[in-house]
Amino acid sequence: MRSSRSLVALVLVPVLALACASLAARPGLTADDARKFLDDAQAKLKDLAVIASRANWVQQTYITDDTERISADANRDATAAGVQYALEAKKFLGLALPFDTKRQLEILRLGIDFPAPNDPKLNQELADIAASLESDYGRGSWCPKGAKEKCLQLPDIEHILASSRDPAELRDAWTGWHAVGAPMRQRFARQVEIANQGARDLGYADLGAYWRSKYDMPPDEFAHELDRLWNQVRPLYESLHAYVRACLAQKYGLDVVPPHGPIPADLLGNMWAQAWGNIFPLVAPESSDPGFDLTKILRDRNTDARGMVRYGEHFFVSLGFPPLPATFWERSLFTKPADRNVVCHASAWSIDFREDLRIKMCIEITAEDFRTIHHELGHNFYQRAYNQQPFLYEDSANDGFHEAIGDTIALSVTPEYLKKIGLLAQEPPESADIGLLLRQALEKVAFLPFGLLVDQWRWKVFSGEIKPASYNAAWWDLRRKYQGVAPPLPRSEADFDPGAKYHVAADVPYARYFLAAVLQFQFHRALCREAGQIGPLNRCSIYDNKAAGAKLARMLAMGRSRPWQEALAAMTGENQMDATAILDYFGPLKKWLDEQNRKMGAMPGW
């Protein structure tokens, strides 16, 4: 995940004028006036964005009351300026303007994830709430059985969810972490009130409508687009869910895992049941061992955190990209410090919107983090590729693109790639592909409904359809509907389980991750085609292919200067997002899952 604190956060909407159709350009204004306004705005906003980036970096890597205040103040100033310029941009609506001028004005009006009202007191309050929620998340801990001297923070609690096979221990760890959300509830509700007012000041019904207006299509059309993509892949997810549920029922018993109901969320190897790779040993097919354990290989070679990142950098260099700057290695945070609290959630940063690139990550020597590093560096190389664009264009074509690029590269972390870089002596045979595909599906396919529902919940909160009195019940209703998971024990409105997810606590829109989960396979299919690869899509790696690298670089350099449909076409030749690439990638697995479900009498659905 890239830094969540950026004034050039998202994309424009050509239909934006519909939101304020009654507004006309102020008499006497010209296209030259609009251009001068934008030049002044971009210079000021960039200066404030750099200040905020530095403050946010320090706040996340040195969590104290003082750094929280410094971060809140910097975000307050940046948000206030962004809101003021967004409001002023209205005066140019209705003018006949060149494409770039019109696009940049529209980006300016949609450039803040949580817009504050044009009121200094409310702006300050919103900034304070945002900083406090993120810090609460970073400081969150669980003390098993009340033993304060043995309190655990999230990485250690996640280890329990990943490795334990004791239902009682899993339930306690899950419950312990989810308690972090309850104190956030009242502040979150107040944050929604203020941000909704900010969105209304900009001409939108609520914050959800504002968020959905960032995708080069009408807000309602975007919501329908997500439903269309989900319905393309839902049969694959339901087959995977049925298979996993049957395997877990065999492991834990039907009294723990109901044969036809939702799966308890604490049994899926991940705090939010959003990725299930950690339970692969419980669901692995016979003869699924690929013949190597990447975690063991990395550890046996005494690979350290920097060495892990060097592997990722080398992948991009092999495609024709220049190496990362020296300051990246001097200023990034690669491991969790022993002397202070930090926000360990992995993120990629462009501090100065030029060459001061960094990642923040508490790296562990695991196969999962090996792939995560490739993902985070995808953000950094994207950030550098578009850094010659005007400030308002320094972002991805839409926010899903930014997440998808890193994941596209991670899809090329195949046995073939591992052999080429000397981590494997030989590739496993194709007979091992079902195991490899299942492991991938437990991460990628399992994530799809979660990626969709987080913002489904928030959009309903922002619109008022979900009231504060039913925050938690509505959260679990959506998780049952889309994921087919349930809490491991009864929950109430004394809980606030959405706050136990970083992106809710940190105000990061989440639809981008669902889009990225779709786009990465579409990108992968296109780049493999460009590289001249033949054979199964899951075996393709674009490592060391300059033709694929050149095609990728051309799209990255566009930033957000063109509508995302054009950027997609530049990469894939297609102008519509298409989840069929996921079905292509996992086709052999879908056939296998259906066969296993028939044998076990496992019926999809819950």
Q: What is the mean pLDDT of residues 188-209?
A: 94
Residues 372 and 235 in one domain: yes
- Tell me the CA distances in angstroms from 443 to 267, 268, 278, 521, one per residue in order: 15, 11, 9, 13
Instruction: Verify whether residue 402 is a known catalytic residue.
Output: no
pTM, 2 dp: 0.86
Q: Which of 68, 376, 394, 530 does the annotation list as catalytic? A: 376
Handedness of CA 136, 69, 84, 354 (dihedral sign): negative
The residue annotated as part of the active site, out of 195, 265, 346, 567, is 346
* Residue 425, domain member (yes or no): yes
- Domain presence at residue 419: yes
User: Out of 178, 241, 345, 374, which one is annotated catalytic?
Assistant: 345
Set 178, 241, 379, 524: catalytic member = 379
Q: Which of 275 and 292 is assigned the larger pLDDT? A: 275
Question: Is 503 labeled as catalytic in the residue annotation?
Answer: yes
The H-or-E segment that residue 376 falls in is helix 367-385
Looking at the fold, whether 93 and 237 belong to one and the same domain comes out as: no
- Taking a C-beta distance cutoff of 8 angstroms, is the pair 195, 115 a contact? yes
14, 348, 500, 554 from 35: Cα distances, Å? 18, 31, 44, 27
Number of residues that make up the chain: 606
Q: Are residues 560 and 430 in the same domain?
A: yes
Catalytic, out of 68, 403, 427, 530:
403
Residue at 460 is within a domain: no
Please check whether residues 351 and 484 belong to one and the same domain.
yes
Q: Catalytic site residue 345?
A: yes
Q: Which domain holds residue 511?
A: 224-285+296-455+473-490+500-600
Tokens representing residue 49 in the block: 């964005």
Whether residue 244 has pLDDT greater than 70: yes
Asked if residue 146 has pLDDT above 80, the reply is no
Are residues 342 and 448 located together in one domain of the fold?
yes
Structure tokens that stand for 2 in this block: 């890239």
Tell me, yes or no, if 260 is annotated catalytic: no
- Mean pLDDT (the chain) is 91
- Confidence class of residue 551 from pLDDT cuts 50, 70 and 90? very high
Ranges 79-88, 343-352, 361-370, 584-593: which has the least confidence:
79-88
Is 375 one of the annotated active-site residues of the chain?
A: yes
Give the mean model confidence (pLDDT) for residues 382-394: 96
Instruction: State which amino acid sits at residue 489.
Output: L
What is residue 21's predicted lDDT score, i.e. its pLDDT? Answer: 32
pLDDT bucket at 148, cuts 50 / 70 / 90: low
Annotated catalytic residue, options 178, 241, 374, 375: 375
Instruction: Give the CATH number of the domain where residue 416 resides.
Output: 1.10.1370.30
Structural domain contains residue 172: no
Q: Which residue has the tokens 């007979």?
A: 431
Within-domain flag for 606: no
129-139 confidence digits (pLDDT tens): 998 999 899 89
Point out the domain boundary residue: 135, 158, 173. 135
Res 345: pLDDT: 86
Number of separate domains in the chain: 2
Question: What average pLDDT does range 17-33 have in this prediction?
Answer: 61
Q: Is 374 a catalytic residue?
A: no
